[in-house]
């Protein structure tokens, strides 16, 4: 139940309508030595799959993240297959032979300057999208995009929804679980706000329904906890060892496309 934020947004919106204002301010934020960021995804679709490795930067710098080019990256699965990744671009390492298979467990090993970082992820069973449509949000005049699917009767189901508008991926960490209430038919809706230009009729929207494992879900769930009103924002809980930021995910994905109306 994530209604708290909805309530708060509503009240702040209402009170804010009366009086509030926003402005950009300059803050003297603390800095820290660059830290390692690893992001890897494997799907049950043909590869190659990429692992991106970069470093953090200070808040006031432009968003250009220095790539890490001296890493040794391998992915192995639980049947003993090993893929040594090669650097396709600065900081982007790609697989050559690996093929994601549902049910297999993958281990990512990254070695940089003698230090090794590992992560394990298991690819869950895929879930199909039944339909996609848009409808008016129950909260405002905006439209939401809804996807209907059948939740399998297993105990732990974690999902991530990725969407692309006219082929361009919209950044966002949209994850949810279905463990609180084992509902069979799920209608998941998400907003399309914060994108420019706004959606217009005829836009092509691709939606990916990814089924992720618990470690990856925890990463995105905790990443979403750092809204402006949390009293204790913190780095997301990563499934990578040795203090690296980011995540490694082996997930199954099903895609569907529709034309926005």
Partner 1 sequence: MSGYIRDAKTGEDLIGATVSVKELLGKGTGTNAYGFYSLTLPSGQYQITSQYMGYEPQVQQIDLTAPRKIDFLLTSQDNALGEVVVTSQRKNDNITKLEMGVQKLDTKDIKNIPVLFGEKDVLKTIQLLPGIKSAGEGNSGFNVRGGAVDQNLILLDEATVYNASHLMGFFSVFNSDAIKDISVYKGNEPAEYGGRLSSALDIKMNDGNDKKFSVNGGIGLISSRLTVEGPIVKDRGSFIVSARRTYADLFLKLSKDTTLNSAQLYFYDVNAKANYKIDSKNRIFLSGYFGKDVLGLSNTFGINWGNSTATLRWNHLFSDRLFSNTSLIYSNYTYRININNGVELNIISRIQDYSLKQDFQLFAGTNNTIKFGFNSINHKIIPGVITSSSIVDLKTLTNKFVWENAFYISHQHTFSDKFSVEYGARLSIFSSLGPGNFYTYDSIGNPKDTTYYKAGQFVKTYANIEPRITLNYILNQQNSVKASYARNVQNLHLISNSTSGNPTDLWIPSSNNVKPEIADQVSLGYYRNFNNNMYEFSAEIYYKYLQNQIDYKNGAELNFNENVESQILFGSGRAYGLELFLKKKYGRFNGWISYDLSRTERKFDAINNGSYYPARQDRTHDISIVGMYELSKHWSLSATWVYNTGNAVTFPSGKYEVDGKTVMLYTERNASRMPSYHRLDIGATWIVKKTLKFESSWTFSLYNAYGQENAYTITFQNNPDDLTKTQAIQTTLFKFVPSFSYNFKF
Closest CB 223 distance from partner 1, rounded Å? 7
Q: Report in angstroms how near the CB of residue 98 gets to partner 1 at its nearest.
A: 20
Least Cβ distance, residue 117 to partner 1 (angstroms): 15
Nearer to partner 1, 106 or 217 (CB): 217
- Rounded to the nearest whole angstrom, what is the least distance from the CB of residue 3 to partner 1 in the complex? 6
7 versus 79: smaller Cβ distance to partner 1: 7
Of 55 and 81, which has the nearer Cβ to partner 1? Answer: 55
Which is nearest to 239 in space by CA: 214, 261, 208?
A: 214
User: 108 to each of 98, 131, 136, 165, how far by Cα in Å?
Assistant: 12, 34, 42, 31
Compare residues 101 and 112 and give the one whose CB is closer to partner 1.
112
Cβ at position 81, least distance to partner 1 in Å: 26
From residue 219, give the alpha-carbon distance in Å to each of 1, 60, 136, 156.
Answer: 18, 25, 30, 16
What DSSP character marks residue 167?
A: T
CA dihedral 255, 5, 228, 249 (to 10 degrees): -30
Q: Which is nearer to partner 1, 79 or 181 (CB)?
A: 181
Q: In 3-state terms, what secondary structure has residue 243?
A: coil
Which residue, among 108, 107, 101, has the nearest Cα to 123 in the 3D structure? 101
Q: CA 227 to CA 144: how far, in whole Å?
A: 21
Question: Per-residue b/e over 128-139, b at no fewer than 16 CB within 10 Å?
Answer: ebeebebeeeee
Residue 233 C-beta: closest distance to partner 1, Å: 5
Of the two residues 38 and 129, which places its CB atom closer to partner 1 in the complex?
38
Q: How far apart are CA 49 and CA 47, in angstroms?
A: 5
Nearer to partner 1, 82 or 139 (CB): 139
Nearest to 254 by CA among 124, 114, 83: 124
Q: How far is the CB of 101 from partner 1 (least distance, A)?
A: 23
């Amino acid at each position: 139940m994530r209604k708290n934020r909805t309530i708060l947004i509503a009240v702040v919106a209402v009170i804010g309508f009366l009086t509030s204002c926003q402005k950009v301010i300059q803050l003297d934020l603390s800095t820290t030595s660059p830290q390692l960021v690893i992001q890897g995804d494997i799907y049950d679709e043909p590869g190659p799959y990429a692992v991106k490795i970069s470093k953090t930067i200070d808040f006031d710098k432009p968003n250009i993240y220095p790539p890490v080019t001296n890493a040794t990256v391998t992915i192995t699965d639980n049947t003993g297959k090993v893929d040594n990744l090669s650097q396709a671009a600065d900081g982007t390492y790609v697989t050559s032979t690996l093929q994601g298979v549902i049910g297999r467990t993958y281990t990512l090993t990254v070695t940089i300057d003698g230090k090794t970082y590992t992560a394990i992820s298991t690819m869950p069973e895929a879930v199909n999208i039944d339909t996609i449509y848009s409808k008016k949000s129950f909260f405002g005049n905006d439209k939401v995009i809804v996807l209907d699917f059948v939740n399998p009767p297993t105990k732990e189901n974690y999902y991530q929804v990725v969407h692309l508008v006219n082929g361009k991926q919209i950044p966002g960490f949209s994850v949810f679980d279905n463990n609180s209430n084992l509902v069979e038919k799920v209608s998941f809706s998400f907003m399309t706000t914060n994108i420019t230009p706004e959606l217009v009729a005829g836009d092509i929207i691709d939606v990916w329904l990814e089924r992720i494992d618990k470690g990856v879900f925890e990463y995105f769930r905790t990443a979403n906890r750092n809204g402006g009103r949390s009293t204790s924002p913190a780095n997301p809980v990563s499934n990578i060892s040795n203090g690296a930021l980011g995540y490694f995910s082996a997930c199954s994905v099903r895609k569907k496309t529709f034309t926005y109306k």
